[in-house]
Chain A
Amino acid sequence: MDTLSVEARLVERAKAQDETAFEQIMSLYADRLYNYILRMVGNATDAEDLVQETFLRAYQGLPTFDGRASLGTWLYRIATNLCIDHQRRRARRVPTVSYSMQEDEDGEPAEWEFPDLQTPNPLDAALNRELEAVVEEAIGNLSPKLKTVLLLYDVEELSYEEIARVLNIPIGTVKSRLNHARTQIQRYVAAYLNDAPKHAGTPPASEGMDDAMQAF
């Protein structure tokens, strides 16, 4: 039996008030949705709350879920809407909000596992983790619209069609947003890679971005 039919059966059972079926749905999607939401909102506390809310909404919405979209598409849609609402509310509270992953709202280091640059490690592993941190930071600096598409395609590995259904936008718009997001993130990483020999261990500065732009 393929994944879709397994999920369809789970949904049918959950609709019939089978609590274990809903538990199974949660265990299938908990990690995926949590990671997606965590990168969307940038801190673990909000992500935890929003992933709970996603499953609560899913539970309440089950009677109206008609199976036209896949279970995954539907859950990502609920999660995305909650994240966008959350970011709008936060933007209203703090006009100059930063989506940087390195600090949470209190200026404390986020719980995200950033590389400890003081720890002696094999060089390659250290460079890889450093690059991860730069990529995470670059993702955090994207606008919510671009971030959503980039995360869904390049991290969660959904197809263009699935993303179009999640966001209810045309496939052409998905592709165009993905191009914009990738170009932005790539320039950010390029600036870091160019600066790395000079400033090992520091994230790319905005001057680096300017250099990259001037090199056009």
Chain B
Amino acid sequence: MRCKRFEQQMWAYIEGQLPPRQARALEAHLQACPYCQRQLEAAQATYHALRALPRRRAPVNLSEQVRRRIAEAPARPTLDWARVWRRVALAPALGLLAAAAWWGWYAHQSAPSPNTVAADSAESFVELHEQLELADWSPSPTPSYFISTGYTR
């Protein structure tokens, strides 16, 4: 278990970011542990290799290809104000619906006899619900990368 702890400190040690006391403890451990010596050697080799990895040039025609794709790409979707308005208008409608449902439930509770009010209210609730379902709820075609980073843990 000690080796595991020291192994996790090796990169900080290489970068000179390990606090002096921990660095001394690691150095003392290295004197007696061939496994950690090999790991440190590997960490050092890897650290330097990562920073010296060969870098390739981007394809020479990249700019031309991007321009071609820009020209071929469909125009960016514009804001559909009719849709926005429908959504804005629907919010109070939903509020009214909730109030009507509550009122229906309340009337039913306060009047024990079988009544038609609650039934009517339930029917109108269903009708309104169906009408709302027929309304266009599809989101506007905004590409996902504009609204989210898309990368989750």
The chain A residues found within 8 Å of chain B, CB to CB, are 23, 26-27, 30-31, 33-35, 38, 48, 51-53, 55-57, 59-61, 63-64, 77-78, 80-81, 84-85, 113, 128, 131-132, 135-136, 138, 145, 150, 154-155, 157, 167-169, 173, 179, 182-183, 185-187, 189-190, 193-194, 212, 215-216
B63 A26 Cβ-Cβ under 8 A: yes
Tell me the interface secondary structure of chain B in the complex.
helix
CB neighbours (8 Å) of B56 from chain A are 31, 34-35, 38, 113
Tell me the interface secondary structure of chain A in the complex.
helix
B26-66 contact mask (Cβ, 8 Å, vs A): 1 or 0: 00000000010011011101110111111111110011011
Given known A-B contacts A61-B145, A80-B151, A132-B53, A51 and B70 have beta carbons under 8 A apart:
no
Instruction: Choose among A85, A145, A157, A190 the residue that contacts B42 (Cβ–Cβ < 8 A).
Output: A190
B66 A154 Cβ-Cβ under 8 A: no
CB of A31, distance to nearest CB on chain B (Å): 5
CB neighbours (8 Å) of B39 from chain A are 186-187, 190
Of the four ranges (under 10, 10 to 19, 20 to 34, 35 or more), the interface on chain B belongs to 35 or more
Given known A-B contacts A56-B66, A56-B73, A182-B43, A135 and B55 have beta carbons under 8 A apart:
no
B149 A167 Cβ-Cβ under 8 A: yes
